[in-house]
Structure 1
Amino acid sequence: MTAPERRPSTEETFDPASATIAIVTYNRSHLLTRLLTSLTSLDPKPGHVVVVDNASVDDTAEVVESFREKLGTRLVYRRLETNTGGSGGFSEGMRVAYELGSTWMWLMDDDVEVLPDGLAKMGRWAPRFRSIQGRRYDYDGSEFYWQYRVAERMGIPIPFAPAGFTESGYKEMNSGCFEGMFIHRDIVERIGLPDPRFFIYWDDQVYGWLASRHTTSVIVDEFVLRRTREIKQWDMGIRHMNASSNAYRYYIMRNRALIKQYYRVHDVYNPVLFGLGTTLTFGKELIRLLFVERTVRGTSNLVRGLRDGGRISRDRMWRPMPPLVSNP
C-alpha cells in the first residue's frame, strides 16, 4: 500500500540554497568540464555541487579542482577507491547530499549540461511535488523522449506512453532517471539510498518506482538539460533505440533478479507477467544488437546475465536498501 503523502504547505517556497547537484563521473573529464562549465551560468545556483569520481585514472581530479572558485557555490569532491558503477556513484552522491543537509537532490551523469534557468524551472514545481523529472534535449538538439512509465507487473518500460503534455504541464510517472532526477529529502528518508548492487541499469527506474509509491511523481514540461554525448541510434520513426555495450547487456538481464526481489518485498511480483517481461527484455536486446549495432556478438552476455541473476533471485537472505529514518 502506498504510504500517505506529506502535502507541502501552500506557503512553502523553494530555496535554491537547499538544493545539491550530485554528479557521477568516470574517465570522462572532457564531458565533466562541459557540465561544470554550464553550472557556472546557473541562475540561481544550488547550495552545493557534489562530484563523485568512480576511481577515474584521467585528469578528473584536476578538472574538478579548477572549478572550485568558478562555480560560485560549495564544491564537494569524492573519489571512490574502485569503480562502483553509476549505481554506486549515485548512492554515494545521494548520501553526501543528504549528510550536507540538502532538502533537494538533483542527480545527473557527466554527459549532460544544465540550461542556465534549469534550477529555477525545477524550483517552480518543488513546492507542489516531491519527485520531479525535467526534460532534456538530445545531442542534436531534438527533444529527447524518456520512457517515464513502467508496466509494473512485467517490470519493463512502456515505450509508447504519450509524449505530449496537457495544459497542466506535467504527467504522472512511476519510474525515474538519474539523468535529471530531482527528489526531496523526505522521500529519500523513506526509501533509502539508491541500491549500489545494480552497478548499472535499472537502478534509477526502480528508485523512481519506489518514490512513486510514497508520493505523486511527475515529469514536467520543462527543458532543463542537454545531452553532450552522441550515441549511435536506430531511428524507429516515433522513438529511437540507442546502442549499448556488453556490460549493459549483462546487467540488463542480471538486474531483472534485483527487480524481482524488490517486487517480492512490495507484494507486486507476478511470476507469469514478470517472466513475460524478462522474455520481452531479452528480445528487445536482440533487436538492439541486430538493428543498431549490426551484429549478433554479445548475445552470450545476455545469457550470462540471466544465469547470474538466477543466483540473486534464489537468495532468501536478500534485503532491500533500508530507509534512512526509523519512522519516516
Structure 2
Amino acid sequence: MTLPTSPRPASRDAPSAAPFEPSSATIAVVTFNRSALLTRLLDSIVAMDPKPGHVVIVDNASTDDTTEVVESYRERIGASGTEIVYRRLDTNTGGSGGFSEGMRIAYELGSTWIWVMDDDVEVMPDGLARMGAWAPRFKSIQGRRYDFDGSEFYWQYRIAERLGIPIPFAPSGFDASGYKEMNSGCFEGMFIHRDIVGRIGLPDPRFFIYWDDQTYGWLASRVTTSVIVNEFVLRRTREIKQWDMGIRHMNASSDAYRYYIMRNRALIKQYYRAAGVYHPVAFGLGTALTFGKELIRLLFVERKVSGTSNLFRGLRDGRKIARDRDWQPMPALVGAEG
C-alpha cells in the first residue's frame, strides 16, 4: 500500500454548509486501571451541554472496578439521550490499540465526528459546542487544554517532517483567525471527521504507546487542512512530575515509554517510506535528537541515570521492524475521494 505523496492543498477544503449536530459526535475514551480518574471524566460528561450521541469507553483489561464505574453512569448519561458503549478488551493493547478500537467502534456507529481522549482529563461544560463551532470549516481539529494546575498547556502542534520530531518552540500565540495549521495530532482531544478516518484508516495499534497520535495527525494533515484552535475544551486531572522550561514543560516518563519512544521510530520510518518522504540522514538526526532528549528527561526531570538500557533496547527492536519488507501501513476504510 502506498500513501499519498503530497498533502491536499488547503484551498480544496471548502467550508461545509451543514451546521454541527452534537448527536452526530462520539466521545471515545481509553482507560486502564484508573477508575477514579474515569469517574471525574464521566462526571464532566454528565455536566456537558450539549452532549454527544455516544460515549465509547475502551477498557484495556483493567483489574480494578472500572466496569462497575461505567455501569453506574449509564442512567445518568443516558438520561439526555447519550448512549454509553463499553468495550472491555481481553488484554492491554496500550493507548494505541485502545484508540484504534475506540475509533473503530465510533466509526461503525455511524458517527460523523469522533472526539478521542484519555481518562485523565475533564471536558469543559461547553467543550463540544466549542469544537462543533469549527466543524463546518475543518475536518481535523485539535482543541486546547488546561494542565493539572490550571495553567495553559503548550502542545507541540507542528513537526519537522524530515526529522520526524515535534518542533518544541513553535509559536504558541494565536492571531485573530483563532486557529493555526498543524501537521501533527494528539489523542488527548483530537476531533476528527469520519471522512478523514475513512481515508487514512484507523490509528495503528502496533505503536502500543508513543508517536501513534503524532503519526495519525500527520496522516490526516496530508489529506485535509488540520488545525489547532484557540478553544480550551479539556483539563488534565492527573498531576505529572515536570521540569518547567519557561515556554513549555518536560514531563517525567517511564521505562516502557523510553522503550517505545525509540522502537516506534521504526514505524514512523515505515510510514515515511510508504508516503515517499523518507530522508535517511535527516530522519537519523531526528532519532539521535530523540535519544538525547530522553537522556535530558532522565537527568533533569527524573533525576536518575538508570533507564538508558530501555532506549538501546528500543533501538535494537526497531531495526527489526525497519527491515520488514512485508510491512504495510494501516489500510483505508473507504476508497479515496476524488
When normalised by structure 1's length, the TM-score is 0.99
Alignment counterpart, residue 51 of structure 1, candidates 57, 72, 79:
57
Give the whole-Å Cα distance in 2 for the aligned partners of 1:170 and 1:237.
23
Cross-structure match for 2:3: none
Q: Report Cα offsets for 1:196-227 as digits up to 9, x if no partner.
A: 00000010000000000000000000000000
Q: Does 1:188 align with 2:201?
A: no
Q: Does 1:270 align with 2:264?
A: no
Give the whole-Å Cα distance in 1 for the aligned partners of 2:104 and 2:9.
24
Identity over aligned pairs, percent: 80
Instruction: Give the C-alpha shift of residue 178 in structure 1.
Output: 0.2
Indicate how the Cα distance of structure 1 residues 75 and 168 shifts in structure 2: closer, same or farther if over 3 A, else same.
same
In structure 2, what residue type is equivalent to 1:288? R
In structure 2, what residue type is equivalent to 1:165? F
Q: List runs of 5+ in structure 1 lacking aligned partners.
A: none
Instruction: State the SS of the aligned residue for 1:70.
Output: helix
In structure 2, what residue type is equivalent to 1:157? P
Instruction: State the SS of the aligned residue for 2:52.
Output: coil
In structure 2, what residue type is equivalent to 1:227? R
Cross-structure match for 1:66: 72
Instruction: State the SS of the aligned residue for 1:145.
Output: coil
Cross-structure match for 1:216: 225
Q: Report Cα offsets for 1:240-285 as digits up to 9, x if no partner.
A: 1000000000000000000000000001100000000000000000
Cross-structure match for 2:166: 157
In structure 2, what residue type is equivalent to 1:23? V
Query: Is the Cα contact below 8 Å between 2:24 and 2:113 reproduced in 1?
Result: yes
Pairs within 5 Å for 1:5-24: 7-8=13-14, 10-24=16-30
Give the whole-Å Cα distance in 1 for the aligned partners of 2:315 and 2:107.
34
Instruction: Give the C-alpha shift of residue 326 in structure 1.
Output: 2.8
Give the whole-Å Cα distance in 2 for the aligned partners of 1:216 and 1:8.
10
In structure 1, what residue type is equivalent to 2:134? W
Pairs within 5 Å for 1:125-144: 125-144=134-153
Q: Does 1:31 align with 2:31?
A: no
Give the whole-Å Cα distance in 1 for the aligned partners of 2:193 and 2:319.
34
Structure 1 stretches of at least 4 aligned residues deviating more than 3 Å after TM superposition:
3-10
Q: Across the two proteins, how many residue pairs are aligned to each other? A: 328
In structure 2, what residue type is equivalent to 1:207? Y
Instruction: Give the C-alpha shift of residue 11 in structure 1.
Output: 2.2
In structure 2, what residue type is equivalent to 1:173? M
Q: List runs of 5+ in structure 2 lacking aligned partners.
A: 1-5
Report the aligned-residue RMSD. Answer: 1.0
Q: Report Cα offsets for 1:165-205 as digits up to 9, x if no partner.
A: 00000000000000000000000000000000000001000
Instruction: Give the C-alpha shift of residue 2 in structure 1.
Output: 2.3
Cross-structure match for 2:331: 322
Q: Report Cα offsets for 1:97-130 as digits up to 9, x if no partner.
A: 0000000000000000000000000000000000
Q: Report Cα offsets for 1:119-142 as digits up to 9, x if no partner.
A: 000000000000000000000000
In structure 1, what residue type is equivalent to 2:270? Q
Instruction: State the SS of the aligned residue for 2:48.
Output: coil
Give the whole-Å Cα distance in 2 for the aligned partners of 1:302 and 1:9.
45
When normalised by structure 2's length, the TM-score is 0.96
Give the whole-Å Cα distance in 2 for the aligned partners of 1:95 and 1:326.
17
